[in-house]
């Protein structure tokens, strides 16, 4: 599967950038924004319904009475209802554009309507107009409106360094997201809101906060704060509310994480430090590790290898590499700037090609340290076979069809 690519060759190992996530989010359908806008307007109308109903009734009565009395006045020019409405509005909030009539009962409108306008402005009509056209003035209510329209979404609790990276990946997967964070002091609020993701500010252990985030309609909850005890409490509360929801929790202690996963019926408990440890070890031994992940109890890694000219890899086919060392080559970045996902096993590697491989750390390190090493100009490739890790004969094809 070839994909044209004009990005710098090293970008395949970089973490997801905020710019890439932002552009992916902007490509999503604008229909959701329209629905959210209508929902928020409806909630705003409900919030101000009392004063708005009184205002509309006053406008109707004042316009109808003024129009009726005006047309009953002798020698007065005929007045249409729309003109009467216009004059009432100008009397309420602006400078009247109508000259004083000769009839005393019409003069009273020039004194009564400005007084009523001042009362309505004081009671909230002005606030309603400001909030209607300035959503930033009511950020919390706006985000609650967005969250209330979501179904089968993912709730991310915690917007720290791990949380924001989880959010970026979920956006690229086109998942609907609601974020829960206990305060607005986090550095990543602005970035998350640039993706138009609602943020519910509150304690993730609170039933009210979880309801605002739509836990009753969510498909999964990812708990990734830096407090193990708080994470456990949140998971317990969420499980009490929903027995069928998928819960993924971050914990620092590997052993404690496994115990909690079994005892509290948590679908996945992930130790970020445990997953990061192989990457540190790989970097120390000169192996470039892009990402680590766990399948059952085995930690696997994705490594990046830039083929060196004159190394043993230079000239080998992808199939030969996979057979010699128990790995799966899942991506090929060629010299001419193309990315090939699931590359053909018959492709012959050349110097400056870049491959992404998945296997155990030991296998990736063997390729990097032995097959991709240049011993000297004009040196011949070694024909010695490398041992497969743990003596296993089964090949690893995680992504190959």
pLDDT digit string, tens, across residues 87-109: 888 888 777 777 767 777 877 88
Q: Identify which has the larger pLDDT, 62 or 264.
A: 62
Burial (CB count within 10 angstroms: exposed 0-12, middle 13-18, buried 19+), residue 255: exposed
Q: Residue 28 has what pLDDT?
A: 55
* List of residues 6+ apart from 216 with CB closer than 8 A: 241, 242
Kindly report the CA angle at 308 between 307 and 313, in degrees rounded to 5? 60
pLDDT at 290 over 80: no
* List of residues 6+ apart from 117 with CB closer than 8 A: 91, 92, 93
Beta strand 177-181 with 154-157 is parallel
Mean pLDDT rounded to a whole number for the chain: 76
Three-state SS for 118?
A: helix
Which residue, 54, 88, 45, 50, is CA-closest to 68? 88
Three-state SS for 264?
A: coil
pLDDT digits (tens, 9 = 90+) for 39-48: 777 877 877 8
Q: Which pLDDT band, with edges at 50, 70 and 90, does 347 fall under?
A: very high
- CA–CA gap between residue 272 and residue 253 (Å, rounded): 9
Q: Which pLDDT band, with edges at 50, 70 and 90, does 365 fall under?
A: confident
Q: Identify which has the larger pLDDT, 339 or 280.
A: 339
Q: Identify which has the larger pLDDT, 121 or 235.
A: 235
Kindly report the CA angle at 48 between 45 and 51, in degrees rounded to 5? 125
Is there a contact between 180 and 202 (Cβ–Cβ < 8 Å)?
Answer: yes
Enter the DSSP assignment of 93.
Answer: H
Burial (CB count within 10 angstroms: exposed 0-12, middle 13-18, buried 19+), residue 86: middle
Is there a contact between 326 and 389 (Cβ–Cβ < 8 Å)?
Answer: yes
Beta strand 2-4 with 338-341 is antiparallel
Q: Residue 30 has what pLDDT?
A: 67
pLDDT digits (tens, 9 = 90+) for 129-147: 777 776 665 667 777 777 7
Q: 184 phi and psi, to 5 degrees?
A: -100, 20
- CA–CA gap between residue 238 and residue 209 (Å, rounded): 11
Topology (CATH) of 15-28+138-270:
Rossmann fold (3.40.50)
Would you state the torsion angle of the CA atoms of residues 161, 167, 173, 175, taken in this order, to the nearest 10 degrees?
Answer: 160
Topology (CATH) of 274-391:
Alpha-Beta Plaits (3.30.70)
- CA–CA gap between residue 320 and residue 324 (Å, rounded): 6
- CA–CA gap between residue 19 and residue 391 (Å, rounded): 44
Q: Residue 338 has what pLDDT?
A: 86
Is there a contact between 345 and 318 (Cβ–Cβ < 8 Å)?
Answer: yes
* List of residues 6+ apart from 394 with CB closer than 8 A: 326
* List of residues 6+ apart from 115 with CB closer than 8 A: none
Single pTM value for the model: 0.59
- CA–CA gap between residue 218 and residue 195 (Å, rounded): 19
Token pair belonging to 270 = 């992930």
For residue 180, what are the β-bridge partners? 157, 200
Burial (CB count within 10 angstroms: exposed 0-12, middle 13-18, buried 19+), residue 3: exposed
Task: Taking the CA atoms of 143, 144, 145 and 146 in sequence, report the sign of the dihedral they define.
Answer: positive
pLDDT at 156 over 90: yes
pLDDT digits (tens, 9 = 90+) for 21-31: 555 555 555 66
Q: 48 phi and psi, to 5 degrees?
A: -110, 20
Q: Residue 16 has what pLDDT?
A: 58
pLDDT at 126 over 90: no
Question: 288-324 burial, b for 16+ CB within 10 Å, e for fewer?
Answer: bbbbbeeeeeeebbbbbbbbbebbbbbebebebbbeb
* Domain limits, the chain: 15-28+138-270, 49-123, 274-391
The H or E element spanning position 260 is: helix 254-263
């Amino acid at each position: 599967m070839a994909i044209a690519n004009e990005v710098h060759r090293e970008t395949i190992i970089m973490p997801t950038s905020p710019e890439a996530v932002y552009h992916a989010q902007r490509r999503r359908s604008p229909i959701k924004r329209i629905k959210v806008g209508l929902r928020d307007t409806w909630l705003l109308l409900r919030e101000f319904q009392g004063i708005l109903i009184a205002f509309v009734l006053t406008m109707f009565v004042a316009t109808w009475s003024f129009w009726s009395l005006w047309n009953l006045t002798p020698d007065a020019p005929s007045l249409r209802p729309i003109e009467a409405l216009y004059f009432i509005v100008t009397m309420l909030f602006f400078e009247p554009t109508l000259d004083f009539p000769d009839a005393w009962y019409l003069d009273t409108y020039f004194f009564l309507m400005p007084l009523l306008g001042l009362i309505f402005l004081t009671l909230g009509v002005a606030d309603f107009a400001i909030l209607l056209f300035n959503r930033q003035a009511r950020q919390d209510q706006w985000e609650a409106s967005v969250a209330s329209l979501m179904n089968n979404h993912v709730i991310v609790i915690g917007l720290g360094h791990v949380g924001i990276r989880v959010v970026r990946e979920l956006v690229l997967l086109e998942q609907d997201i609601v974020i829960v964070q206990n305060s607005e002091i986090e550095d990543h609020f602005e970035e998350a809101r640039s993706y138009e993701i609602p943020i519910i500010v509150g304690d993730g252990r609170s039933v009210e906060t979880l309801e605002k985030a739509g836990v009753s309609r969510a498909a999964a909850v990812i708990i990734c704060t830096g407090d193990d005890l708080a994470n456990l409490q949140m998971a317990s509360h969420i499980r009490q509310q929903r027995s069928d929801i998928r819960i993924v929790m971050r914990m620092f202690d590997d052993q404690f994480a496994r115990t909690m996963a079994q005892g509290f019926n948590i679908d996945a408990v992930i130790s970020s430090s445990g997953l990061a440890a192989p990457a540190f070890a790989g970097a120390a031994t000169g192996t470039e590790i892009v990402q680590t992940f766990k399948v059952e109890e085995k930690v696997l890694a994705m490594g990046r290898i830039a083929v060196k000219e004159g190394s043993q890899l230079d000239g080998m086919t992808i199939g030969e590499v996979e057979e010699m060392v128990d790995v799966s080559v899942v991506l090929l970045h060629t010299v001419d700037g193309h990315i090939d996902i699931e590359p053909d096993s018959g492709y012959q590697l050349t110097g400056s090609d870049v491959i992404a491989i998945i296997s155990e750390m030991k296998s990736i390190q063997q390729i990097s340290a032995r097959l991709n090493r240049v011993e000297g100009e004009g040196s011949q490739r070694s024909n010695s076979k490398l041992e497969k890790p743990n003596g296993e004969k089964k090949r690893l094809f995680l992504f190959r069809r």
